[in-house]
């Protein structure tokens, strides 16, 4: 680090030891899949990301409402910035990590050691950047030197996806016990996409045979529908530059989910949700096989938090169903769920 910067930080206390995140609760523990869970506090630093403050607002609103029912508050990170969106694969491209690391510094400033996010892309970028800079002391020092107006990032911040928190800290049995409105008989295809599972070092589940969404859906009373394309790419940003590629990807995913009997698709990625809705083009054959007024024009694509909140008894006006391109409420009303 630049000596002038180091002296200034020492004078201002910028490199003071991190405050304890909690004075009560259990010690840190390593879960079965290698995630480190610390404490049991009900207030958790939360990174929303850009999409959840705009098009994917229902994702955030339903998540907040659901977590309140589970006794947790998602405490929005102060002064957060964009996660960086696309993780840089160039090992010498340190500038691309400044955005993610600044968010980790915000967590550090709070004296906390973990950060929860909802968006699969944000999770992937933040988690990989944290690992990248902590793996090499020289790399971390150079990153800190760039951030001349920030306190140094010292590492030790665990980035978690909300699904990890639900599985590893709260537990699906505990969630099932709090269900007020079981999603009985509702056939839901869990769609993971790319960013929750790959690369393996930050994946929240087995990349080839994930089951965390299935386990959650089962706890809510729904019937998870397995289909082979659940971990395939939706087309991602090709939807802008090459929309035909994204449309082809989506058609394969949606058709496979339909053939497996799915009535709804649940996801954890705003871009996946956008693509799966936008590029659904129904054929006459599809319409003939699915005469329901809901599914005839497209299969609804929901965020998993909308189903979680629904099952926990959150009022319909907090679920954001009206913002979906294919409204699931007719189907849900047929099942007496809304």
- Whether 35 is covered by a domain: the verdict is no
The residue segments making up the domain with residue 293 are 174-334
Residue 293 confidence class, pLDDT cut points 50, 70, 90: very low
How many residues can be counted in the chain? Answer: 338
Answer whether residue 226 is part of any domain: yes
Residues 48 and 154 in one domain: yes
Closest CA to 266 of 324, 208, 315: 324
pLDDT digits (tens, 9 = 90+) for 257-271: 999 999 999 999 999
Assess if residue 242 is contained within a domain.
Answer: yes
| Tens digit of each residue's pLDDT (9 = 90 or more) over 231-258 | 999 999 888 899 889 999 999 999 999 9
Model-level pTM?
0.85
- Contact 59/270 with Cβ under 8 angstroms? yes
Query: Which segments within the chain are labelled E, that is strand?
Result: 29-30, 36-37, 43-47, 73-76, 114-117, 158-161, 187-190, 223-224, 264-267, 301-303
CB 217 within 8 A of CB 294: no
**Whether residues 77 and 110 fall in one domain:** yes
* Same structural domain, 197 and 128: no
Q: Is 33 within the bounds of a domain?
A: no
Domain count for the chain: 2
pLDDT of 163: 99
Residue 35 has pLDDT above 70, yes or no: no
Residues 189 and 117 in one domain: no
Q: By 3-state DSSP, what share of the chain in percent is helix, strand and coil, each rounded to 5?
A: 45, 10, 45
**Token pair listed for 65:** 């409402």
Is 169 part of a structural domain of the chain?
Answer: no
Predicted confidence (pLDDT) per residue in 141-179, tens digit:
999 999 877 899 999 999 999 999 999 999 999 999 999
Mean pLDDT estimate for the chain: 86
Q: What confidence tens digit (pLDDT) does each residue in 106-143 have?
A: 999 999 999 999 999 999 999 999 999 999 999 999 99
Q: Are both 146 and 250 inside the same structural domain?
A: no
């Amino acid at each position: 680090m630049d000596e002038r910067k180091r002296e200034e930080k020492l004078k201002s206390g910028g490199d003071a030891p991190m405050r304890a995140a909690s004075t009560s609760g259990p010690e840190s523990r390593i879960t079965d899949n290698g995630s480190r869970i610390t404490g049991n506090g009900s207030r958790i630093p939360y990174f929303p990301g850009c999409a959840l403050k705009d098009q994917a607002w229902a994702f955030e609103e339903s998540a907040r409402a659901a977590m309140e029912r589970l006794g947790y508050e998602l405490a929005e990170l102060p002064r957060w910035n964009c996660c960086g969106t696309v993780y840089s694969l160039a090992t010498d491209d340190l500038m691309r990590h400044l955005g993610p690391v600044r968010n980790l510094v915000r967590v550090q400033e709070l004296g906390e050691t973990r950060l929860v996010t909802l968006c699969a892309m944000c999770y992937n970028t933040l988690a990989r950047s944290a690992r990248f800079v902590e793996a090499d002391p020289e790399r971390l020092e150079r990153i800190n030197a760039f951030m001349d107006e920030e306190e140094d990032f010292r590492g030790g911040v665990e980035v978690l996806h909300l699904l990890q928190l639900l599985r590893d800290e709260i537990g699906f049995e505990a969630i099932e016990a709090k269900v007020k409105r079981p999603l009985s008989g509702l056939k839901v295809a869990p769609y993971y996409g790319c960013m929750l599972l790959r690369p393996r070092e930050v994946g929240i589940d087995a990349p080839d045979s994930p089951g965390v969404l299935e386990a959650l859906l089962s706890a809510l009373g729904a019937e998870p529908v397995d289909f082979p394309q659940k971990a395939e790419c939706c087309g991602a940003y090709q939807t802008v530059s090459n929309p035909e590629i994204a449309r082809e990807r989506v058609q394969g995913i949606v058709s496979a989910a339909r053939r497996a009997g799915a009535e709804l698709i649940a996801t954890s990625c705003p871009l996946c949700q956008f693509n799966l809705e936008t590029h659904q083009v129904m054929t006459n054959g599809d319409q003939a096989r699915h005469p329901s007024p809901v599914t005839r024009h497209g299969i609804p694509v929901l965020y998993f938090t909308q189903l979680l909140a629904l099952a926990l008894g959150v009022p319909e006006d907090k679920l954001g169903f009206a913002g979906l391109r294919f409204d699931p409420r007719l189907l849900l009303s047929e099942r007496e769920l809304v």
